[in-house]
Amino acid sequence: MNETLFHAYVIGGNREDARRHITDTLAPFSVEKADMYVTECVSFGVEEAHTLRQWQMLRPAGVKKICVVYSDFVTREAQNALLKTLEEPVENTHIFLATPKPHMLLGTLLSRVRVVRTVGSGSETDDAERFLALSARERLEYVGEIVTKSDDEEAAAEVRERALSHLESLELYFYKKQNVAVLEKILQFKKYLYHPGASVKMILETIALIA
C-alpha cells in the first residue's frame, strides 16, 4: 500500500462500508488519539464546518491529524464553508467526509478532494427503486420524513436540498427506464422547487402519487 495520504477525501456509499474503507486506509499510520477528530451526524451544517476549521488549525500532538465526518447530508452553507478549509490545507492534516451521495455535493468542493466509492456502494437509483416499491400510504409517510417544519433558514434550505436529491434519484431512474411521460412530470415539478414560495411537501406528495 502506498503510505501517503491526500489532504481530503469524500467517501461515497453506506456508512459501514465507508467506515471499513477509512479504517483500512489509515491502518498503516500511527495517529495519536488526541489527533483524531471523528463526528457522526444526520446533517452536517455550517456550525460543524466552522468547528472542523478550528480543529484544523490546532497543533498536532503527533505526526498526523485525522478528521473523519460521517453524515447523511451536507448543507449547501456547510459546503461553502468547507471550501476555505480545503483550499488552505494544513500539512499532515487529512479530512475524510463520508456521505452516501457524493454527486450531490458542489462541483467546486469535489474538485478539491479525492472521491472514493466503496465496493459496496449501490447505484444512484437504489433510493428511487426502494421508494417506488412502497405503497401510496408508505410513500406519503416517506415524504413526511423528508419535509420538516422549521423557521430556521438553514433547516429550510436543507429540506429543499433533500427534496431535490429525492427527485433527482427518481429522475435518473425514469430516464434509464425511458419513461418519458413520468420523467417530464418530475422535471416540471423539480423546477417548482427552485421557487422560494413553492410548497416542498405538496410537490413531493404529488410526485409520490403519480410516479
Q: Where are the alpha helices (DSSP H) in 27-75?
A: 46-56
Class of domain 8-117: alpha beta
Q: Are strands 65-74 and 36-44 parallel, antiparallel or unpaired?
A: parallel
The whole-angstrom separation of Cα 8 and Cα 10 is: 7
Give per-residue pLDDT as tens, 155-176.
677 787 778 888 888 888 888 8
The whole-angstrom separation of Cα 150 and Cα 163 is: 15
Q: Give the pTM.
A: 0.63
Domain boundaries, the chain: 8-117, 126-210
pLDDT band of residue 2 (cuts 50, 70, 90) is very low
39-49: average pLDDT: 89
How many of the other CB atoms lie within 10 Å of CB of 78?
23
Q: Which triple of cell numbers denotes residue 129? A: 427503486
How many of the other CB atoms lie within 10 Å of CB of 186?
21
112-132: average pLDDT: 78
Owner of C-alpha cell 447530508: 73
CA distances from 144 to 70, 138, 171 (A): 24, 10, 20
> What's the DSSP call for residue 62?
S
Owner of C-alpha cell 455535493: 105
Q: Which triple of cell numbers denotes residue 121? A: 456502494
Owner of C-alpha cell 467506515: 19
85-91: average pLDDT: 91
- The per-residue pLDDT for 19 is 92
